[in-house]
Chains A and B, each alone.
Chain A
Amino acid sequence: MNTRVAEPPKPGSDHDGLLVTNMRKAFFPGTPNEVVALDRVDLLVHPGDFVTIIGSNGAGKSTLLNAIAGTFPVDRGSIVIAGRNVTREAEHTRARLVGRVFQDPRAGTAPSMSIEENLSMAMLRGQRRGLRRGVNGNRRREIQDQLGLLGMSLEGRVSAEVAKLSGGQRQAVSLLMATIAEPRLLLLDEHTAALDPKVAQTIMDLTGKIVMERRLTTLMVTHNMELALRWGNRLVMMHQGRIVLDVGQKDKSGLKVADLVAKFHEVAGESLVVDRMLLD
């Protein structure tokens, strides 16, 4: 496909969000083990939208985010981010547009490098890297400012190895790394699930603050229905590779956990185990 695409349109225009059309992804296709992880998925996300995504284990939530980020090619359908058709682009090419935070705090950072080195690398997201110094005065100042906003006293420890940080601190740094270069799309995959409740709360509050301040278009996968209802202006439920529920701001504000459970039983059948969704 065409590799030279026009610059993404300015923020606020209609095409500045995310458009996924008729997407399909199967693992082990053509074998007895074939798993259709995504099937006929259509999703239009407007710029600045904060979409929460719920669904049972294996519903295809992570696969959807991986497909958008380009971890693997999809079988069918197209992905347009900020007006740019990225369907055939390599992961590192579309990385310019997409910031991600994973469940595992170790996934988003380079452990044996320092906090400032990690954040300096993140500031160059999608840019050509050259033989200039990676951590320079300007970057260090901005990094300290940004770390200050976290309220974790990390601004005084910029040269500390990331491996020495706690899980929560590390996830906060991951979140900053994903957002510091203002991506056009932020993908969060259960990014507070591995943290203890208090730390999870802190990271979620930070996430909300950063997403609001920078008006980032965001998809957030969670198993916690309370979180899914409290945060964001839209809620999507997935089941067996399909989007089975999609509610906007107006309807979402009236929704309760019990309504979601009922909806879930409706699509999945009573017999299906939803314990993980209920327990969280």
Chain B
Amino acid sequence: MTGILTSGLEQGLVFSFMVLGVFVTFRVLDFPDLTVDGSIVTGAAVTAMALTNGWSPALATATGTLAGFAAGTVTGILHVLLKSGSDATNYGPKLLAGILTMTGLYSLNLRIMGLGTSATARSNVPLLGEPTLIESIENLLSIELTTWRLIAALAILALVIKLVLDWFLHTEVGLAMQATGDNEQMIKALGVNTTVVRIAGLGLANALVALSGALVAQTQGFADIGMGIGTIVAGLAGVIIGEVLFGSRSVTWVLFSVIGGSVVYRLLIAGALRVEQIDPTDLRLLTAILVVIALATPTVRRKVVRM
């Protein structure tokens, strides 16, 4: 039982940044962004390559995060090129922009992981023996990060990121970003260049996603090209579960909710894996079914209609 609890908590917190990123795209920007399946790998790949090249874990993590920001801005720019007119409810170009970036990132991520090796591309970077953020924290505090301490450290990081995101969304620029997803025509008429705001917002969201990727690589000890598949649905599951279980009465509150949703989702997954008949390869199907069930609930449907 504690195995389920600790692994669910750890995974839930590691992926909570990704869920926050998905929240920013789906809820704040009203932009169903599929880039995330690629940008989470980019975060992991860039961080892993930086680590194997001797960069400090903090710098490597920051660089991976920035790479995610860049990926998000590419989706934003593609969206500008693909859309015609200014119909904010036209999701086609938004979906296509994300799909194109995600597809391109697949090749790029393989290339990134092959950098500096004899291969042009690699699908996996092991981090055996490389110092990671976990060791950095252990050295800094001169303690050993046992399972529960690691969970505490991740919880603190999630809290800090949550507070920063909360602060940002309530600044002048942040309000303009919220309004871009809520009523673009209105905020444009108040003098805001919503094109730029949306590109920056997608960058921010994918930076959060890539941060999760960087942490996944460092906690599981490798970066892998397959780790991104299904990220968007897992992120959506976290957002929806969080909103349904913990509510969404304000931005400040809902940011907590979706972190909680991420943890609950990973606890469910960890629990499901204990069931003998369920194989790890079944997880994506389970996630999809979970999202479908959630969507079939009328109260959830009402919330999600806005997506």
Chain A residues within CB distance 8 Å of chain B: 69, 90-93, 95-96, 98, 100, 106-113, 117, 120-122, 124-127, 129-135, 177
Q: Please report which residues of chain B, range 174-199, place their CB below 8 angstroms from some CB of chain A when the two chains form the complex.
A: 174-176, 178-179, 182-183, 185-194
Chain A residues with CB below 8 A from B186, complex form:
107-110
Which of A107, A112, A120 has a CB less than 8 Å from the CB of B185? A107
Contact A110 B189 (CB under 8 A): no
21 A–B contact pairs at CB < 8 A? Answer: A69-B189, A93-B191, A96-B191, A98-B189, A100-B189, A106-B183, A112-B182, A117-B175, A121-B172, A121-B179, A124-B190, A124-B191, A125-B190, A125-B191, A129-B173, A129-B192, A130-B171, A130-B172, A131-B168, A131-B172, A133-B171
Chain B residues within CB distance 8 Å of chain A: 168, 170-176, 178-179, 182-183, 185-194
Other A-B contacts than A113-B182, A129-B192, 13 sampled, CB-CB below 8 A, are A92-B191, A92-B192, A93-B191, A95-B191, A98-B189, A107-B185, A122-B190, A129-B173, A133-B170, A134-B171, A134-B172, A134-B174, A177-B190
- Judged by DSSP, the binding face of B is helix
Which of B174, B182, B185, B191 has a CB less than 8 Å from the CB of A127? B191
CA distance A108 to B187 in the complex (A): 9
Chain A residues with CB below 8 A from B172, complex form:
120-121, 124, 129-134
Which of A90, A96, A131 has a CB less than 8 Å from the CB of B173? A131
Closest Cβ of chain A: how far from B174's Cβ, in Å?
7
Chain A residues with CB below 8 A from B173, complex form:
129-131
CA distance A122 to B182 in the complex (A): 15
Chain A residues with CB below 8 A from B175, complex form:
113, 117, 120-121, 134-135
Contact A92 B176 (CB under 8 A): no
Contact A110 B194 (CB under 8 A): no
Chain A residues with CB below 8 A from B179, complex form:
110, 113, 121
Closest Cβ of chain B: how far from A273's Cβ, in Å?
31
Contact B171 A131 (CB under 8 A): yes
CA distance A135 to B193 in the complex (A): 20
CA distance A129 to B193 in the complex (A): 11
Contact A121 B185 (CB under 8 A): no
Which residue from chain A places its CB closest to the CB of B177 in the assembled complex? A129
Which residue from chain B places its CB closest to the CB of A114 in the assembled complex? B250
Closest Cβ of chain B: how far from A73's Cβ, in Å?
13
Contact A121 B187 (CB under 8 A): yes
Question: Which among B172, B174, B187, B190 has the greatest number of chain A C-beta atoms within 10 A?
Answer: B190
